[in-house]
Structure 1
Amino acid sequence: MTTDVLFCSFHTPDEYYARSAANLRASLDRLGVAHEIAEVPKAPDEEWLEICRKKIPFLHSVCDRNPDRKIFWIDVDCDIDYLPDFVSGFSADIIGFQRGFGHPMRIGYGSSARFWEPCFWGINTTPAARAYIRDAHLACESMTLRATDDFFFEEAWRKNADQLTFQMIPSSMLLGRADQPDTGRRPFFYFGSSGNVATFKGLAAQHTRNSAARSTATKGGVKSMALKVARQTQEALPQRLAVPLRRLSDEIGLTEFLSPTLPASRQLSQRSIYNIVHDAREGRRDAVEARLADISSRRLLGNADRAVIGAAQAFLDYSGDDETALPLLWWDKPYPGNYGDWLSPLVFHDALKRPVRFQRHDEIGARPHLIGIGSIGRFAQASSIVVGAGFSRADAEIAPDATYISLRGPYSAQLVAAAGGPQVERFGDPAAILPRLIPLERPASTNGRLALVRHFAHRNISLRLPEHVDELSVLLSRRADIQAFIARLGQYDAVLTSAMHVYITCQAYGIPVALITFDGFEDAVAGDQMKYRDYAAGVGLPERMPQTIGHDLRQRALPDLVENERIPKTAMDEIYAALTEAAAMFDRMLQPSQQ
């Protein structure tokens, strides 16, 4: 047992916290880590805020009784899989995660009103470290405002920061977050959340961000908040107001501006990103390669920069001769690209044997163009040729004068007809024909494991995975990467996914699959969930909705969620024919005199 380290925490008798405490004790016992996890009484009228405030005197008392041991506070609903040497052996006064588990390039008060994430702290035996805890305790005892523990920790930090040495644990050490970089170190910390923070945030005293630092902060947090507010406003407004506002947002580029693109931790400037992506969208290969060569000679590029470059290279994968190129509208963000969205250029390019060129969704009065895979039917206008696209919600604004060759399913067709458009009777998501474009044989014997692929909107949920579950990222766009991804899916016994086009891919290739979502995040994916029924009905499969599961997948019989259904060949035939007809319609629209 590690003798110079002591973990401490407490919990109330509530079922959630008592169960979490039992799990935490079991983990620490298994690891041989000494711990003091106490149950504290909860008065009938005592709220979560008052319970949290008890953390300070509890931690102070543990430190006082153990002057020669490093003390780690861990929230009782958090957990560790192991204790890394760089954590247990830290030499600074304090160690912890930065607020929000952010990237080091966003450290400090430009991004957050508080410096530390209070769920996991290490307090050394040094005089400075113990003085810091004493000051936090003094603040908690003397200040009468209503606040949680992290307010008083922050007060003590602001008083002592210039006298403390400190060590940051990188956010890549978080378990269960998608798309974390491979650092060579295995993540160890699981962040649990009861939901009380969001519930009580408006009732507890808060710090404000430093005004000087705020002026240099990145805009990512502001954009994220603005997007959330925009969605909430849209939900609250009556349809007669929400629909035209959504259309206006699309047309002026606000939708694209607020959409997730990149983390702030990049070397490329906004202007460089614009130039690279703009040239790539236009198929200017030489210009893109020249820009990348110039930038690479002057910058050491990181993961976020490579995401932009990956998207640019993906645009070029599908580009070609402008004379035969098909203008195609698809959603290209977040970079390097979302698998489902980027199936659109792959399918049209490979099925029709023609290059494609990116068509912006907010170009007013656009020339004839195609709209295919995804819930992007709302971007259609009079010059659009829609083939296999759909809508994400029943109140979407619809262009009745667009040319509709086919739609994803009958639910989308009902919306088009109700809006005064044609009666569309041909259905099917074009992603269903992937096996005809990328033929892959599923091995007779799979690897005995399950794959988890989450929608990018779920990528920041902390999940606990069983040993036999591997996580694959949905963020990819290049043709070679997509082909390798599909081949890898086929090696697994089954796939669990909250990304609809991964679900469609599995049903196209006959890979057993479960369509899932996560408890508390059922609404994270845009839309009202009609798209799942729309897709299934469009290819003649049973209509299934995502199954909600908890964040600890070790507690669920995952194979019981899996279905084994396959898209009929007749549906693939109809989709292929619709794509061919759409391309022919485009050619005729460019040459009206030949009609």
Structure 2
Amino acid sequence: MRPGTACRPALPSAGTDVHTGAAMGHRKPTIVSFYCGPAYYREAAERLRGDCEAHDLDHDIVEMDGVADRDWADICRLKIPFYVRMLEKHPDGILWVDADTRILRFPDALAQGGHDFAAFLRDFVDLREFDAAIHPRTFHPGILHFNATARTRAFLAHLAALESRSDARATDDYFLEEAWRTFEGHLSVQILASDLVAREGRPAGPEACFLFGASGNVSGFIRRVEQHAPPLASTTRQRAYLHHYASQALNAGRRAQAQVFLEKARELAPDDTVTAEALTRLKARRRRLPRLVRAVSKLFRPRASAAEVRRAVEAALGAGDIPAAEQALDRLAGLGRDGEAGFIASRRFRLALEKRARRMSLSPEQRPKLWWMETPYPGNFGDVLNPYIVEKLSGLPPLFAAGGTLAIGSVVKFARAGTPVWGAGTPRMTDTLSPEADYRAVRGPLTRELVLRSGGSVPEIYGDPALLLPLIYDPRPAKKHRLGLVRHVLHADAPLRLEGVHEIDIRRIGYEAIEAFIRELLECEAILSTSLHGLIAAQAYGIPTRWCTLSSAGKALPGDGTKFLDHYAVLGIAAQAPLDLAGLDAVGADLAGLCTERATRPFDALALLDAAPFPVQPRYREAARG
């Protein structure tokens, strides 16, 4: 038989499956292989031919001319274009068998069709014992079945393209793994049972079909050609394990051990912002403040995403590292991404609090701990009143902290055991509140009723702290507008025609912006507002108001109206249905005549100040008495 020809003509396929292109006539594939060089390979190939003839198997075993002077690694690469040529030549698929492997019998599973590709797993390991994390490659390259399907041809074309374009010093085994990992299509793969192969020096079991031969070249070349690292050794996998171990250590209260794991994870991936943030926060909790976020500066690599830089901002703020936070914010602003301006403004505001605390040489323990709603960014008048009022009353820049005092807003539901509550309220009467929170004062009697119903206790001290604004800031601007309008954040973009009405935007951040808002209120003779804190601030300064709604807005305000009724009860304002501005052709200055809401009951500012969970400067108590 001439090398390079099948021992008999291949018969036509009996049929082809439309989906996979797999042979349906259960034809056996053609055995293919090649050899060159030393007599060892020629003799082995002759034995392989003999096996094929003994078992009545088509075969195409070729002697490669003109390559004997190449080394073993280069010859191995020739397998890849050989696969392609042989599959084109043989319509029933091909079974590559290394020339020094013996065929004891043909594995019937390969003649059943239905798959695109069949192979033994690496090191001939059984599927139940194969751990992809510790094996650097998936398949053993010595015995490979390529069925004659469209998917197989696409896979081989991908494999051949990888090999032809690569200058890597690598064998067929390397490129097979690369193709398997990067092929974008899908393959039906049959894993051959490990007992189908025997090795020299080991007895063949009753199911064995192949006796695998080893020339010894692998051990001589393994350090001279490209290898794959096992997935277990990948940076991503190791980092995931280290984060897992760190989490376990934290859950067990072993923070020092958790820090060791996170430090190692950072060494593996210095640019990983998730690790840097976790490490920074852990160090902050351990109170090792000096040089906490040195790693944060490494996060600002040239191609860092906006999300990564955001995390760097949070990590730096969490550790109190002002320079790193400023650097991160500047970098985020420089990205020029839409939608980041609000976040940047919010974090610059918090950074200003940190700077003032640093100038005053205040430790975190000396600052009032406070939590307020920051979203939607950059914030709004009602929420930002929290740090404004607390800092003005105490003279201390508050520390934004989970578990800190809940003061202004419908945030009482966020209170947990021990959380100080000072003036916060509920948006609805169906919530259940923590009975163990430290309720010093609440917005109104409805919130107090809900606290008591939930099993908590609270004194009859009422009032949203925004009612204290006139004690803090009392400008006297001239009136410029007959009517002003304040819309809730959720109503800001709803269509509304205004005629002679001054609109005051509630989206504010920063103390100067808060005081500018107050001045704009005071320049109006009356105020319409769909925002509770637009109403509270106006009423605190004695401006007549009218509670409004805007049904044409895309979203309804959270709650069931309880927060308005709760506050109105404190000032003795008669409750009335809100005025729906969406039902009007235009909002004109003549609506000032509907602004009849005024306090009829005095607000006990001194009781609210005495209930504060932070120090209040004496002058404010004196002003409240006066």
Q: Which band: TM-score by shorter chain?
A: 0.3 to 0.5
TM-score by length of 2: 0.46
Greater relative contact order structure (CA < 8 Å, 6+ sep):
1
Task: Return the index of the structure with the highest Cα Rg.
Answer: 2
TM-score by length of 1: 0.48
